[in-house]
Amino acid sequence: MRDRADLVIVGGGVIGLSLAYHLARLGFSDVVVLEQGYLCFGASGRNGGGVRQQWSTEENVLLMKDAVRRYRRLSQECGYNIWFRQGGYLFLARDDASAATLEQNTKLQNRLGVPTRLISPAEARRIVPVLNLEGVRVCAYNPTDGVLFPFPVVWGMARIASDLGVEINTFTRVTNIDVRGRQIVKVVTDRGAIATRRVVNAAGAWSPQVARLAGVELPNKPYRHEILVSEPVKPFLDPLVSDLSNGTYFSQTMRGEICGGLSDPAEPSSMESGSSLRFLSRMSRSLMRLVPQLGSLKVLRQWAGYYDETPDGQPILGRVDAVDGFIQLNGFGGHGFMMAPAIGQLAAEWILRKAEHPIFSTCDLGRFARGEQRRETFSIG
């Protein structure tokens, strides 16, 4: 392991690796990535792979438009097939409030060039004939959203970053971040220390623990999110379908499996990562309400990952007031995977001072103290 680096990235998930990948492609590879487990150990290896542009704020719609553009070419760039399939996202609204949200979001998305359409349940059934849409008022459908297979994205970005000179250390745990005065000087791991003046905290659900090593308190909280996958069947489901009444989402993978999860308002914040019968039961019921024929389909496997949630549903990006050289890229609350290629590029340009972007001043940690929180209201699952 190197004993010094210009920049150390804590977290070998998709956010940290996307940053490393984009930095290296810009010619900056004096970078070490530290990952506590194997690649894909955290949420980057546990999510459903949904990639949508249907958001409620201009920043997020534009960010995700850029991310889709980048995901479309990533397979060719990185030499791994990421199985990105743009089958669309279909949202279902059952009540007035959800219908109004979809209507408002669709207007915003159209203005920004995303081809979302508000459609009737009858039209939605032409897209997914097996759907039972009894009780659904209106749907929003964007054919350019999609799903991908997360693992090869992580491996592909790691491979290119590594080929370009970035050092990626798996099974390496950060035990301390040395700060002298207000300047970072060293990162200590269970495999040795690295002298550095810049550290990026891209540790997802572990970000508050990492920040505390440098004496910084983050307001992020981890929440378990459960998900499951079925046995594979012949392709019948083009879009990812999401029911806004209970946060259910499900899609069909390129292997033919049905993969999905749902919100649980009763889930407390914790680092619990086990699987529950409660989830399996609620998900089965919700899925069978939407597609009754799936009752005979078999569940293969269920598992869980963490959402790294912030108080306002927006990530924490950029500098912190108390410690120089400590950069946050965390708090993505279950949306980090879809945003990663866009965030990695922006952060790389910002760190190398090639371009400014307002996101690093509006989404910094200091916004909570300044009382400038901006709520993204369209979070699913």
Query: Between 282 and 367, whose beta carbon lies closer to other proteins?
Result: 282
Query: Between 231 and 356, whose beta carbon lies closer to other proteins?
Result: 231
DSSP states of 156-170 as a string?
A: HHHHHHHHTT-EEES
Kindly state the smallest distance separating residue 290's Cβ from other proteins, in Å.
11
Query: Between 294 and 343, whose beta carbon lies closer to other proteins?
Result: 294
Torsion (CA) 65, 71, 76, 82 in degrees, nearest 10: -160
CB 347 within 8 A of CB 205: no
Kindly state the smallest distance separating residue 358's Cβ from other proteins, in Å.
28
What residues are paired with 32 via a beta bridge?
8, 167
Sign, CA dihedral 319-321-324-326, equals negative
Kindly state the smallest distance separating residue 32's Cβ from other proteins, in Å.
17
Kindly state the smallest distance separating residue 343's Cβ from other proteins, in Å.
24
**Binding residues for other proteins, per CB under 8 A?**
38-41, 45, 97-98, 151, 155, 171, 230-231, 244-247, 263-266, 275, 277-278, 280-288, 294-303, 379-381
Query: Between 263 and 361, whose beta carbon lies closer to other proteins?
Result: 263
What residues are paired with 119 via a beta bridge?
139
Kindly state the smallest distance separating residue 139's Cβ from other proteins, in Å.
17
Query: Between 88 and 334, whose beta carbon lies closer to other proteins?
Result: 334
What residues are paired with 329 via a beta bridge?
317
Query: Between 212 and 301, whose beta carbon lies closer to other proteins?
Result: 301
State the Cα–Cα distance between residues 68 and 146, nearest whole angstrom.
9
Longest CA–CA span in the chain (Å) reads: 64
Kindly state the smallest distance separating residue 154's Cβ from other proteins, in Å.
10
Kindly state the smallest distance separating residue 228's Cβ from other proteins, in Å.
9
Q: 315 vs 161, 200, 299, 335, CA distance in Å? A: 24, 14, 33, 9
Torsion (CA) 214, 195, 34, 22 in degrees, nearest 10: 100
Q: 13 vs 42, 168, 234, 344, CA distance in Å? A: 7, 11, 31, 12
Beta strand pairing call for 199-201 and 326-330: parallel
Query: Between 42 and 325, whose beta carbon lies closer to other proteins?
Result: 42
DSSP structure class, residue 259: E
Sign, CA dihedral 81-225-290-142, equals negative
Kindly state the smallest distance separating residue 7's Cβ from other proteins, in Å.
22
Query: Between 176 and 281, whose beta carbon lies closer to other proteins?
Result: 281
What residues are paired with 259 via a beta bridge?
229, 251
CB 218 within 8 A of CB 316: yes
